[in-house]
Structure 1
Amino acid sequence: MESTDPTLVATTAGLVRGTALASGVRRFLNIPYAAAPFGEHRWRPPQPVSAWQGERACTEWGPTSPQTQYTGSIAEVLKDMPTVPGEDVLNLNVWVPAAAPPPGGYPVVVWVHGGALERGAACIRVYDGGNFARDGVVFVSIHYRLGFEGFAVLEGADLNLGLEDAAAALRWVAAEIGAFGGNKDQVTLMGESAGGVLTAALLARADTRALVARAIIQSAPLAAKERAEAAKPTAELTKALGIPATADAWRAHDPVALLEARGRLLAGRSILDGTPGFQLALDPGSLPASPDTALRRIDTPILIGTTTEEHRLFLSSAELAAVPWWKLLLVRWYLKIPRAAAAAVRRAFPGANAGDVLGTLLLDLYMRKPAAELAAARPTKTWVYEFAWPSPVRELRAAHAVEIEFAFDNLCGRDESVPVALAGRDAPQALADEMHAAWVGFIKAGEPGWAPYGKERLTRVFDTVSATVPLRRADVVDALPSA
């Protein structure tokens, strides 16, 4: 007999008990979608979760993937990141609208958090899905394996295990979301930064693309790398620890030991030092084609964009001012970035120092140009945005991740218990209303409120006064080489 209690839902693994919030929205936290990926399951694809008897309390956040806190200047604004101990890290969360679902069910959005594939969690305050549920969307957020647990390149282990986790979570949504009032045929996959990388990769795979109706990709590189390139973080730590790059050898080292060793290697480095970061690897089984090419051949509607000054999250103004001009020239030479691109950046940002010019070139090369090229290759199914509102916090301006608070309609600075919010204490609610409405419109009907990219290269610029205009700083994008 079906339960009449809206906080009690039957999944195929067992009953889950959620919470009815004051708004009427129902929230279910820490629902396992796969077994704990440790012990015999470590560096193996996600395994089925065991069924349980009776009710499972899903009222508290579940364990987060092992990780360390941010260090350096980025820690000034991304500090005290929440972590929850425990091994059952392959869990997800669901927010359900208060009202009974319409015929066919509510549209669904699945959020994949960012963090360079080695940090992050769904329980970060800004990722609360309540406002999407308030507006008639079933919201799902997921955890997945991070760092070496999810993206090591080891003999005897499958590649891209964090991606396989996300795929397993997406399959869980297809199988179970109907019980929560969601429509499995109206699922939008959404991610920012590393979460956008995983979103693009899931679209590039035929098996997971079939489970997605639409996708939102925020500030993300789109290229997967050859195995040797993706193996660089693994190779660096293997050398430091003096062990072979095999799953059997690495199982002797617990996650904390690996994290501590990684931390020692990263000490004092920045994004301008060429530090090898975790990346998805091209692989016949888990990712046979790079998303930057595969997504050009599919017809899934995509909303994609970047922020105006992505790089300013990663380096403070003082650090940017300390970058010498010779370093800009060296990086330009190494990456084959032409003088015309640097000149175009200086025209767009008069008085920019070498650090800002270099940061803009790098993030435009890896994020903005791929997004523009993708949109140009499939202009009738792609909507492009640029987030341009300048945050006053630590002179972030329109930095990487600032837009998330607006897209979620979660201006965290209004909550005095939040120590630092990227958008600050007085961020414009009207811009959050506008941007969140665009995201909800796309999730519900594939219409964010402006025209697709097309020949005019139309882009929605979100700012204090927003506008739809041809791609800004197109001369920078056009002058950059393809990444």
Structure 2
Amino acid sequence: MEIVVSTRLGGVRGRVEEGIAVFRGIPYAAAPFGKHRFAEPAALEPWEGVRDALEFGPTAPKRPYRPPLDELIPEEDIPGDECLNLNVWTPALDDGRRPVMVWIHGGSFRNGSSGFPLYDGRAFARDGVVLVSLNYRLGVEGFGVFPDAPDNRGLLDQIAALEWVRDNIASFGGDPGNVTVFGESAGGISIAALLASPRARGLFKRAAMQSGPPQIMTRDEGAAIVKLMAESLGVPPTAEAFASVDRERLLDAQAEASAKGSPLGGGPGFFIVEDGQVVPSGAREGIAPPEDVALLLGTNREEYRLWFVPTGVVDRINRLTFRLALLKFRVPGRIARLYRANRPDAAPGEVLGEIATDMLLRAPAHRLADAAARAHVYEFAWRSPVRDLGACHALEIGFVFDTLAAGEQLAGPDAPQPLADAVHRAWVAFAAHGDPGWPLWDETRPVMTFDHPESRVVPAPRHDELQAWS
């Protein structure tokens, strides 16, 4: 059955699927090309009549993940310029004022889309939440740093989507005063920046960060990949010059420039930068979350395995490359000795992966929890049997969304449904009233450890290692 909702810009037509009202591909800003390319998101002109919102909208320009990650995280690629769009799943179109959750996908700021089946919002709507997911500009279009264009355009897209939620979500049965933003990896990093941004104040009440550290870079660091691309393309590193390059050629240059970078290994990539406007000066040194925003944040037990194991990196690291990596990342010798002593039987690649996970993801998340007025911290510890991935990066997403059947490439066909029930229930409870079901973060450092057959609160897990980073 098809249904119509009136928004401030015009009517949109969705459909009821298994009792859930679903609207896909609703534009929240003008197409970011032509006169709007490399600019802040521009307001849409209202339309007459009713616009179809029956299929996912165009995805931001991108290339697939490099092998073998392309098999583990397949990409949705929908052509079209109107890529600033969002989707809504809602239990009912009434004045129920239900909690709202807004999902910001990950993908190293150059991959991903809201149409990935793992992000289906049906289970959230089933449980009384209005779920919104969004697309934003990626790669050089959204995060390239230029002297003649605003920085953090992809982040500005996210803010524009949150403004759309504020202005329209009541028509979909949601409460604009009870919005939770949540995201994973680059989505979690985005949320950290939203916590710091004055442009996002008042647009959300709660925030859940999954495996995304509060990572803000300098403009010079953000511009490095633009300079590499400019050299490859033979053009100046300006937005004006890049806009004159064929889009496919630009994507090829982007893929080439970022080929040797990774979230844990470093190297050329795209970042949110401290621009003094959208992201205020001082954010790089530390983010103080607003006192009126509650946090839910955490990591997976073995984040590094997504990048280290399928690629074979974990087996290629020997004692020499281990020491060189420690020097590259300036890891103090006392910390390396502590990790090795705690894992006497682990291979060098595994020890290095544990160090990288804590240094780049887990320790920064705990520091953010320390700075928050109200935070709950989790760790996802269930180990996937697929390709020896273990409790790797992104594994928790299918459990959060209760979409295990869509995530078999990461979790396998026999992932425990009771664990998905518990994780999903915690996220719904946090969105509804701010309490996911375990104690607030305090000096005892309680961490809800999600596992199967038992999940439990663990006080200060691996405290000796995590304390070393502070």
Q: Judge same fold: TM > 0.5, yes or no.
A: yes
CA distance in 1: counterparts of 2:404 and 2:421, whole angstroms = 10
CA distance in 2: counterparts of 1:239 and 1:363, whole angstroms = 33
Instruction: Give the letter for the 2:169 counterpart.
Output: I
Which stretch shifts more, 45-54 or 88-97? 45-54
SS at 1:277 equivalent: coil
Instruction: Give the letter for the 2:435 counterpart.
Output: E
User: Is 1:361 paired with 2:349?
Assistant: no
The equivalent of 1:73 in structure 2 is: 68
Q: 1:19 to 1:251 in 2, by over 3 A?
A: same
**How many corresponding residue pairs?**
467
Structure 2 gap ranges (5+) = none
Does the 8 Å CA contact 1:460/1:469 hold for their aligned counterparts? yes
User: Is 1:183 paired with 2:183?
Assistant: no
Deviations 1:367-396 (A, max 9, x none): 111111111233x50000000000011111
CA distance in 1: counterparts of 2:284 and 2:22, whole angstroms = 33
User: Is 1:300 paired with 2:296?
Assistant: no
Q: How does 1:422-441 map to 2 (within 5 A)?
A: 422-441=410-429
User: Is 1:174 paired with 2:166?
Assistant: yes
The equivalent of 1:161 in structure 2 is: 153
The equivalent of 2:197 in structure 1 is: 205
CA distance in 2: counterparts of 1:361 and 1:445, whole angstroms = 35
The equivalent of 1:454 in structure 2 is: 442
Q: How does 1:216-295 map to 2 (within 5 A)?
A: 216-267=208-259, 274-289=266-281, 290=283, 293-295=286-288
Instruction: Give the letter for the 1:162 counterpart.
Output: G
The equivalent of 1:16 in structure 2 is: 12
CA distance in 1: counterparts of 2:409 and 2:379, whole angstroms = 20
User: Is 1:94 paired with 2:88?
Assistant: yes
Structure 1 gap ranges (5+) = none
Instruction: Give the letter for the 2:243 counterpart.
Output: R
CA distance in 2: counterparts of 1:99 and 1:431, whole angstroms = 31
SS at 2:5 equivalent: strand
CA distance in 1: counterparts of 2:247 and 2:436, whole angstroms = 42
Q: Sequence identity, in percent?
A: 42
User: Is 1:62 paired with 2:57?
Assistant: yes
SS at 1:422 equivalent: helix
Report the Cα offset of residue 269 of structure 1: 6.1
The equivalent of 1:131 in structure 2 is: 123
CA distance in 2: counterparts of 1:271 and 1:187, whole angstroms = 29
The equivalent of 1:404 in structure 2 is: 397
The equivalent of 2:456 in structure 1 is: 467
Residue of structure 2 aligned with 1:442, choices 419, 424, 430: 430
CA distance in 1: counterparts of 2:441 and 2:260, whole angstroms = 41
Q: 1:101 to 1:25 in 2, by over 3 A?
A: farther
CA distance in 1: counterparts of 2:284 and 2:173, whole angstroms = 31
Q: 1:44 to 1:363 in 2, by over 3 A?
A: same
Q: 1:298 to 1:8 in 2, by over 3 A?
A: same
CA distance in 2: counterparts of 1:273 and 1:335, whole angstroms = 9
User: Is 1:377 paired with 2:366?
Assistant: no
Which stretch shifts more, 437-446 or 353-362? 353-362
Report the Cα offset of residue 264 of structure 1: 2.8
SS at 1:7 equivalent: strand
Deviations 1:342-370 (A, max 9, x none): 23333554422222222221221111111
CA distance in 2: counterparts of 1:75 and 1:232, whole angstroms = 25
User: Is 1:386 paired with 2:379?
Assistant: yes
Does the 8 Å CA contact 2:92/2:172 hold for their aligned counterparts? no
The equivalent of 1:33 in structure 2 is: 28
Which stretch shifts more, 308-317 or 135-144? 308-317
Q: 1:273 to 1:176 in 2, by over 3 A?
A: closer
Which stretch shifts more, 382-391 or 344-353? 344-353
The equivalent of 2:468 in structure 1 is: 479
Instruction: Give the letter for the 1:303 counterpart.
Output: L
Does the 8 Å CA contact 1:73/1:315 hold for their aligned counterparts? no
Does the 8 Å CA contact 1:203/1:291 hold for their aligned counterparts? no
Q: 1:139 to 1:258 in 2, by over 3 A?
A: same
Q: 1:344 to 1:429 in 2, by over 3 A?
A: farther
Q: 1:88 to 1:348 in 2, by over 3 A?
A: farther
Q: 1:76 to 1:340 in 2, by over 3 A?
A: farther
CA distance in 2: counterparts of 1:143 and 1:461, whole angstroms = 31
Residue of structure 2 aligned with 1:49, choices 29, 44, 52: 44
Instruction: Give the letter for the 1:309 counterpart.
Output: E
Report the Cα offset of residue 330 of structure 1: 1.8
Q: TM-score, normalised by structure 1?
A: 0.93
Report the Cα offset of residue 274 of structure 1: 3.6
CA distance in 1: counterparts of 2:202 and 2:235, whole angstroms = 41
* Aligned residues: CA RMSD: 1.8
Which stretch shifts more, 288-297 or 234-243? 288-297
Instruction: Give the letter for the 1:447 counterpart.
Output: D
Which stretch shifts more, 232-241 or 270-279? 270-279
Q: TM-score, normalised by structure 2?
A: 0.95
Does the 8 Å CA contact 1:112/1:141 hold for their aligned counterparts? yes
Q: 1:340 to 1:412 in 2, by over 3 A?
A: farther
Does the 8 Å CA contact 1:320/1:356 hold for their aligned counterparts? yes
Does the 8 Å CA contact 1:74/1:315 hold for their aligned counterparts? no
The equivalent of 1:343 in structure 2 is: 337
Which stretch shifts more, 224-233 or 451-460? 224-233
Q: 1:213 to 1:204 in 2, by over 3 A?
A: same
Instruction: Give the letter for the 2:72 counterpart.
Output: V
SS at 2:253 equivalent: helix
